Amino acid sequence: MRIPGADEAIEHLARWAGRGRWKEECMRAIAAHFEPVCAKSGISEDELAEALGEFHYEMVEACAFEDFCSRRPASRRSNVIDDYLDQRGWKESIQARDYLRALRGSVMSLYEVVEVKPGRGLVLRDLVRGSEPVEVDEQLGSQSAARWDRIAARVLSIGGRHYLSGAVLNFEQEPAEAVLRVFRISPERAKRSIAECLPALRRCGHSTSCSPIGRSRWRAVRGFSLGYGLRTRCANSGLPSRR
């Protein structure tokens, strides 16, 4: 289930992030997800995009954008969602504003599907932070997910219910275990260590991919993925493309 108005709100937010005061910070934040991986793997970002495939690459880009949306820069008193809601929040529905606030306070984690409730949702267990399993409203995902699938996602709490944000990645067993080993040793070194793991995982034939959950959702929502929308809005808003 998608929150009414959430997709339009994300589109508006992306345009806002492409404006002068946020443009450079947004691009730096997104690039920080790609550059270490490309440097360690010895490939360009174009080669990375080709290896992942356009749709999968766009979903990873969407994950990076959501990370930017949840950051609170040290040099600012508010983040991009705070700024957008202060200046343009009146344009959004109450549900959409609640969605953006939940996204602002969210974190991405690695979850395991412990139960599938067809037509209703999923029960997810956080493998990084522990805590009790949570049930998320995810009708489309419940049609394609399987028990013990592992996904990287953001669980948003809105009005006493839980939802997935727009960007969801499926993790195969070996990459998921590699990520968990890094966090068990030292969370501070996670980004660098995960980048170091990627070349070996690629040689072994393991990879992450766009989850069927994310794939079915984004194809159902007006036929575009957030990543494609970001690149289109980059051109329209003056936000420079990294490729």
> What pLDDT digit, counting tens, does each position of 33-73 carry?
899 889 888 899 899 889 888 888 889 899 999 999 998 76
For residues 182 and 189, the answer to whether their CB atoms sit within 8 Å is yes
Q: Between 212-220 and 54-70, two packed helices, what is the crossing angle to 10 degrees?
A: 90
The domain segmentation of the chain, as residue ranges, is 6-237
CA distances from 203 to 162, 189, 197, 200, 241 (A): 37, 23, 10, 5, 29
Q: Which residues of the chain have pLDDT under 50?
A: 201-208, 210, 212-240
Backbone angles phi, psi at 35, to 5 degrees: -60, -45
**SS3 state of residue 44:** coil
Per-residue pLDDT at 179: 81
pTM higher than 0.85: no
**Distance (Å, rounded) from C-alpha 241 to C-alpha 238?**
9
Per-residue pLDDT at 207: 45
Annotate 77-132 with DSSP letters as a single string: SS-HHHHHHHHHGGGS-HHHHHHHHHHHT--EEEEEEEEEETTTEEEEEETTTEEE
